């Protein structure tokens, strides 16, 4: 995707670990603006909340039940980023941890540590697995990939109770949400990593992640044109 004036996307992620997100956006003609704990920059056309570590459990009203030590500064920075872009009506995409940030920001909570019999499908640490997910008929993912399709997976937490206004649009084999959106708003999140399944990272055993990122940029372009 390309425009005469490149879309600028604010990225928030772990220090030194946003390269794949940046590469994918550049391949689609956008200009990424990455940062660690950045202040909201509403001159950007959209916000991409990247993957990373666990959120502080008290942010969603729970004691620690298997969460890894949080990055408190990043947690608070990304919640502030979400609310700034949300209030401005600008598109937001959350990937893995980023999807969980969206859910917590809107009052939802998380499964802090998937049971061992579920984690065998989803990976943990540096181990990336592949498993099928099913999509909601009529949703973006259903339109792009059909009712059942394989994705990558590397997480031990998951969205549980949905935040206000959110709906699940894809589910794992264990029935927790693998993707969410917010009807009426340009917001969505995926638990998997499309940037690891696109362009130079395209793989034969999963979907192509590029259409998800392209759809996000289309939302950004539409919002910028208003």
Catalytic residue positions, numbered? 96, 193, 195
Residue 70 Rama label (left phi>0; alpha psi -120 to 50; beta) = beta
Residue 165 Rama label (left phi>0; alpha psi -120 to 50; beta) = left
**Contact of 52 with 72, CB cutoff 8 Å:** no
The two tokens of residue 49 are: 């909340």
3-state secondary structure of 177: strand
Residue in the structure block whose two tokens are 């608070």: 76
Strands 92-95 and 46-49: parallel
């Amino acid at each position: 995707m390309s425009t005469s004036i490149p879309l600028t996307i604010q990225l928030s992620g772990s220090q030194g670990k946003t390269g794949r997100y940046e590469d994918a956006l550049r391949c689609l003609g956008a200009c990424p603006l990455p940062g660690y704990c950045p202040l909201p920059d509403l001159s950007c056309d959209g916000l991409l909340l990247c993957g990373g570590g666990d959120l502080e459990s008290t942010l969603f009203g729970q004691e620690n039940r298997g969460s890894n030590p949080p990055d408190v500064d990043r947690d608070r920075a990304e919640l502030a980023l979400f609310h700034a872009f949300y209030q401005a009506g600008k598109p937001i995409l959350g990937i893995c941890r980023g999807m969980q940030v969206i859910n917590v920001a809107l009052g939802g909570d998380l499964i802090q540590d998937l049971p061992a019999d579920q984690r065998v499908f989803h990976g943990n640490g540096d181990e990336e697995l592949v498993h099928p997910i099913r999509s909601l008929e009529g949703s973006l993912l259903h339109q792009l990939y059909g009712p059942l399709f394989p994705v990558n997976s590397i997480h031990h937490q998951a969205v549980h109770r949905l935040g206000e206004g959110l709906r699940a649009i894809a589910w794992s084999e264990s029935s927790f949400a693998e993707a969410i959106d917010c009807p009426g708003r340009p917001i969505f999140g995926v638990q998997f990593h499309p940037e690891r399944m696109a362009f130079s990272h395209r793989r034969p055993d999963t979907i192509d992640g590029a259409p998800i990122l392209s759809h996000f940029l289309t939302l950004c372009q539409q919002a910028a044109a208003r």
